[in-house]
Structure 1
Amino acid sequence: MRIIAGDHRGRRLAAPKGMATRPTTDRVRESLMSMVGSARGGFDGAVVLDAFAGSGALGLEAISRGAERCVFCEMDRNALSALTANIAALLLEGSARVARGDVLKRPPCSFGPFNLVFLDPPYALRPEAALALLEALRKAGALEDDVLVSYEHSTASDGPLDACLEGTAWQRVNRRHWKETSIDFLALASGR
């Protein structure tokens, strides 16, 4: 893995050992970042939450492209080791903060408000749990009204996610597929 664009373009990233994480491929990450940049008008001023961070590739890519800062949430020991090594290697300690532990049990509400959220959980995580995290952050005032959420999941979860979104404060504004991977962009519905 490597940083694709920005100040740290081409820099290699350490990946966690073992099967506990599933890194987003460079191709998907490149497309994702292009879509996020277009939707936001770039990364300047972005305050990012990289939940389920793994190696931190998504948040580090955002910082490389101009994001102001990022909070990385991770609980796997091997992933934390790779994540902290990547932050140190890129000299990003000033703009990166690591929240160790289960983001579902302890959302990093006090570190917001965030205006860009990357959710890249294990595919086994049900959409209800991902939306519950977003709701906890929203209710705590940890999200800006114009927050953009990128939620990567298995294409098998498309239907269940759509059903979960009904009647919530969230709406899907875009969906892209890459083989068995879906990325949904979520935003707060107006008036919520």
Structure 2
Amino acid sequence: MTRRSPRPRRSGKPTTAGRRSSDRRHAGRLRIIGGDFRRRLLPVLDSPGLRPTPDRVRETLFNWLAATLPSARVLDLFAGTGSLGLEALSRGARETIFVERDARVADQLGRNLDTLGATSRGRVINADVDRFLSDAPSPATLVFLDPPFRQGLAEPCCAALESGWLTDEAFIYLETEAGLDPQVPPSWRLHREVHAGDSHGRLYRRDATALSPAEDAC
């Protein structure tokens, strides 16, 4: 998952000189931090604002999701570099579908899947997320949703996911700008959250039993 909108990158806790040096060495590259592809470095397209989710945030998130990943079916929406979806594949996800509207970025993501030998489990779809979500759904057990900040995309995408894209107990990781309190579907229960710089990450778990019969029928 990746940032293309012109907004400050997440900083998290103050970094040490060693971490800053490491970040410089890995500039323009994505580092997988765990699982089968651990420590693999992949090229990142030179495009304004396009950077992987910071290691600290990814490590925290995937610690929360450790028991969920084996055999998971994952959607990485607004994928960019695919840092979250690739990390999920590395850690045992059965399948990840990456949705990215920028053709050049999507092409680079496809090449990185090929480099990792993961094309049998990862698929890149070059499309707008709203158009993708309007197609016939195939339920996912885990969704990464990181829309560009300050464009009003979070709530419509959350609502669209309830049209058959989620299993009954799916996890949804939503990242928004700090200060935004998005309205999510009533079946989503906040599980964990993380703040880092200008961003606020929330991990929800869906509880289909919270839906009324009429909502469930939808």
Q: TM-score, normalised by structure 2?
A: 0.76
Aligned residues: 181
Q: Which runs of 5+ in 2 are unaligned?
A: 1-29, 212-218
TM-aligned CA deviation for residue 72 of structure 1: 0.3
* 1:29 equivalent among 52, 55, 58: 58
TM-aligned CA deviation for residue 111 of structure 1: 6.0
RMSD: 1.9
Q: What one-letter code is carried by the residue in structure 2 that aligns with 1:105?
A: R
Report the counterpart of residue 59 of structure 1 in structure 2. Answer: 85
Report the counterpart of residue 132 of structure 2 in structure 1. Answer: 106
More moved, 59-68 vs 9-18: 9-18
TM-aligned CA deviation for residue 155 of structure 1: 1.1
Helix, strand or coil for the counterpart of 2:162? helix
Q: TM-score, normalised by structure 1?
A: 0.85
* 1:153 equivalent among 160, 176, 181: 176
- Which one has the largest radius of gyration? 2
Q: Which runs of 5+ in 1 are unaligned?
A: none
TM-aligned CA deviation for residue 20 of structure 1: 5.0
Distance 1:109 1:144 in 2: 17
Helix, strand or coil for the counterpart of 1:156? coil
* 2:38 equivalent among 9, 31, 40: 9
Please give the per-residue CA displacement for 1:20-70, whole angstroms capped at 9, x wherever unaligned: 534311221111111222xxx241121000001101111110010000000
Report the counterpart of residue 144 of structure 2 in structure 1. Answer: 118
Maintained 8 Å contact 1:52/1:74 = yes
Distance 1:103 1:49 in 2: 11
Larger helix proportion, structure 1 or 2?
1
Residue 92, structure 1, aligned to residue 118, structure 2: yes
Maintained 8 Å contact 1:17/1:78 = no
Distance 2:177 2:52 in 1: 13
Matches within 5 A, 1:107-186: 107=133, 110=136, 112-126=138-152, 129-139=153-163, 141-157=164-180, 159=181, 161=182, 164-165=183-184, 168-186=186-204
Helix, strand or coil for the counterpart of 1:104? helix
Maintained 8 Å contact 2:106/2:125 = no
